[in-house]
Every structure is written in C-alpha cells, then in structure tokens.
Amino acid sequence: MNPLSKIAILAATTALLAGPAFAPAFAQGGSDFRDCLQNIKAEAMRQGVPAATADKAFQGLTPDQKVIDLDGRQPEFSLTYAKYVGGTVSADRIAKGQQKMAQHRVLLDALQAEYGVPPQYIMAFWGVETNYGTYMGDFRVVRSVATLACMTKRTAFFSNEAVQALRILDMNHMTSEQMRGSWAGAMGNMQFMPSTFTKWAVDRDGNGRIDIWTSLPDAFASASNFLRGIGFKPGLPSSEEVLLPKGFPLDQADTTVEKPVKAWAAMGVKKIGGGALPASDEPAQILLPAGFRGPAFILYPNFKAVMSWNRSTLYALSVGILARQIAGGPGVQQAAPDDDQPLSRDTVIDIQNRLARLGLYKDDADGLLGPKTRSALRLFQQQQSLPADGHPSGESVRRLQAR
Ligand SMILES: [Ca+2]
C-alpha cells in the first residue's frame, strides 16, 4: 500500500471514531485479549452470528504487534495541497484510469444508469484507494480489527468493525484467512471497512457471494451503492477549479461559508476557462487549498458525499481532480505557490500556542491544521493587513513567530 493511501486510511479511521452503535467496556491489556474477544463474540451473536463462526475466526488469535505499531505512528508533517494532489493525481494514474474506464465501459454505464454515479468517479476512487486493485493489503482483517479493538483506545469503533467482520464471514461463508485488507481493516478494491461492507456492499455478478476483492462487478456496484447512500447525486461534479474576480473577499473562501452557485456567479466567480458557472441554486463553497496565490475551487454538494467516504479535504479534492481528468477534462490550471512547505506537528502546535496567546485561538494545541486553526490565522492576518486566506504561508508563519 502506498504512503498516501495509508494517510487516507488514517484520516478515514480517525474521522469515524465518533459514531459506533455500542460501546461496551472492553479490556485494554494483552492478558485480557481473550475476554475482549468474548465480548465481541457476544455482540456478534446478538446480531445473529452463530457462535461457531466466531469461535473459528478467533481460534488461536493473537494481537498483531505490527498493527499496534502502525496505529501508534503519527504523521509527522501535514502534507501541502501541492504534495498531496501531486502524489495522488499522477499522469500514470490518469492514463490507467482512462484505460480501465474504457475496458469496463458497459458495466460502468449500467451502474451509472442504476445508481447515478458517473464512471470517472468509480475509477477515481479505485485509483486513489488501491491504484486500481494493485495494493489491497494483505493483513488478516479479523486479526487487525480485533487487535485495534482490544489493544488500543479506539475500542468502540473497532469492536463494531470486528462484529461486522464476523457477520461477513458468516454471510459469505469465507474463512478468516481469506478475508484480507489494510492494517486498519480496509478491504478489497475499494478499501471498504467491514461496517461499510455489511451496510452497502452488493452482489452484482449474481453468484450469491459479495466479493469486493476479485469480482470487479461486485466492487464497482458496491462503491456505486455506497456513494448513492452517502448522498452522491447525478448532475454537478464534486468540485471544479474556478477563477475568482479581482478583489474577491478572501474571508468568503471558507468551508463554513455556503451560498447558492448562482450567488457565487453574481459575485463574479467563473469557471477557470472564463465560462459561466452552472445556473444552479445548489449550495456551494469556495476553497483556496494553497492560499490566495494558488488555485481556487468551487465545492458542489457532491463534495460532501466524497468527504463522507474519507473525511479529508485534500482526499476529496484529489478524487474530483482525478475524476475530471479520467473523463478527459483539463487538469488544474493555476499552479500552487512553490514555496509552500509541509508544516511539522511541532510547528503547528507552536502556531496554535501563539494564536492562543493573542486570544485568537481557543481550542487544544493538537498539531492538526483544521478549520479552527485556519480561522484563527485569518484573524491574525487581518490584524497584520496580510491577505486573510487562513493559509499558513511562509510569510504568515514568520510574522506570527516574530510576535
Ligand atoms: Ca458476486
């Protein structure tokens, strides 16, 4: 699995911590691993899994130290827009996506007619998640999610994943040995978590089993069904590059500011080539992922659906950029500034502490460059008469560190 996919999965798993259905008091220690598995088994049985299925899957199961180590690893730097998109949307990935889309055209067209998701989006997710099925991961999913449930603090989320993994073994009559995925339990061509599989995966080729590992009809139909389920609608793309008029108020380029597409058009926002935006009342936002000197994007409602797949803005942006180019559209026209450097966690913590001392930032100094840190930075930039784009450019960071 390539490093970017790992980061995407980190983002995905981190984002999903909030909403498990149940949260029993699982033991954390290694010596209590068997007790923890028993609790998972009990919940699985409440959800209709036969005891024998759980016993077979858990027989001789031990925690996977490699998974614990990978889980403990914090990414040291926040990637910049240019590095993330440059690494995700490569010329090779675009070409391969076009070739795969042509190869599977009949199936993809049928899925679009049924689910409303255009082929280029299925190809883009496939390309970003596993480089078109090249890196699906070789960890035993039951062992990974049981380890994460019983040996880390993310017990509730991964206990549910372990229960869902047992349900999959039961309904699909697979062995736990056959069920493979990433270290964090993401499975098959589209890297579905077990809970995504049990909720959204479908048997498209009609052989009575859902196989998102080796059946592309099953994998693509499952992705289409999932996207439709999380709100993807036919019509506007997820995002597209735009041209902002001179003097555009930078405080409007913020994901918390939502206006109808028509209202952005009335403010002078155009497609990057100079054409008019679609005459639509759909809500949209403007994003400057590399600050005011870089490209601008309009985010349409489907952007939120893409973010429900993976709650990372750069991931969602990359999927939209890749999909557009797989479909033969242009790449991003405006270059990102080449002096943008990835910021280390320590630098971001320092930025947050300085903003807090100025009374502009009230959250934890967690080293993550989220919307609240960007808003605080925007206020600082306004005080300094800098372009207030909320972007931690070299200039903004230097001014802040000089305070
Ligand atoms: Ca099947």
pLDDT, residue 19, reads 36
For the cut 90, the answer to whether the pLDDT of residue 36 exceeds it is yes
Residue 14 CA to ligand 1 center (angstroms) comes to 30
**Domain-wise residue ranges, the chain:** 343-401
- Residue 245's contacts (CB-CB under 8 Å, 6 or more residues apart) are 267, 268, 269, 270
Q: Which two tokens stand for residue 365?
A: 């100094």
Residue 217 CA to ligand 1 center (angstroms) comes to 7
Q: What is the residue whose two structure tokens read 């990057």? A: 272
pLDDT, residue 78, reads 79
Residue 219 CA to ligand 1 center (angstroms) comes to 9
Residue 168 CA to ligand 1 center (angstroms) comes to 13
Q: Which two tokens stand for residue 394?
A: 């070299």
- Residue 270's contacts (CB-CB under 8 Å, 6 or more residues apart) are 242, 243, 245, 276, 277
Q: What are phi and psi of 108, to 5 degrees?
A: -65, -40
Residue 172 CA to ligand 1 center (angstroms) comes to 10
Helix ranges (DSSP H) in 16-118: 33-46, 51-58, 65-72, 81-88, 91-103, 105-115
Residue 8 CA to ligand 1 center (angstroms) comes to 27
pLDDT, residue 70, reads 94
Report, as an integer, the average pLDDT of 203-218.
Answer: 96
Residue 111 CA to ligand 1 center (angstroms) comes to 15
| C-beta of residue 216 within 8 angstroms of C-beta of residue 189 | yes
Report, as an integer, the average pLDDT of 99-106.
Answer: 98
Report, as an integer, the average pLDDT of 205-227.
Answer: 97
| C-beta of residue 100 within 8 angstroms of C-beta of residue 131 | no
Q: What is the residue whose two structure tokens read 């320590």? A: 346
| C-beta of residue 63 within 8 angstroms of C-beta of residue 187 | no
Residue 205 CA to ligand 1 center (angstroms) comes to 5
Residue 131 CA to ligand 1 center (angstroms) comes to 22
d(CA 335, CA 306): 24
Helix ranges (DSSP H) in 119-172: 119-130, 141-151, 155-172
Report, as an integer, the average pLDDT of 158-175.
Answer: 95
Residue 379 CA to ligand 1 center (angstroms) comes to 54
pLDDT, residue 284, reads 98
For the cut 60, the answer to whether the pLDDT of residue 24 exceeds it is no
Q: What mean pLDDT, rounded, does the chain reach?
A: 91
For the cut 60, the answer to whether the pLDDT of residue 377 exceeds it is yes
Domain 343-401 annotated CATH 1.10.101:
yes
Nearest partner of 287 among 295, 277, 297, judged by Cα: 297
pLDDT, residue 209, reads 95
Secondary structure string (H, E, C) spanning 7-36:
HHHHHHHHHHHHCCCCCCCCCCCHHHHHHH
Residue 246 CA to ligand 1 center (angstroms) comes to 54
pLDDT, residue 4, reads 40
Q: Which of 15-19, 353-357, 385-389 has the lowest mean pLDDT?
A: 15-19
Report, as an integer, the average pLDDT of 110-117.
Answer: 98
| C-beta of residue 361 within 8 angstroms of C-beta of residue 378 | no
pLDDT, residue 339, reads 87
pLDDT in tens, 261-276: 999 999 999 999 999 9
* HSE, side-chain direction, 13 A CA sphere, residue 390: 22
pLDDT in tens, 303-320: 999 999 998 999 999 999
Residue 99 CA to ligand 1 center (angstroms) comes to 24
Residue 203 CA to ligand 1 center (angstroms) comes to 4
Residue 176 CA to ligand 1 center (angstroms) comes to 18
Q: Which two tokens stand for residue 167?
A: 């349900």
Compute the chain's Rg from CA coordinates: 22
| C-beta of residue 49 within 8 angstroms of C-beta of residue 167 | yes
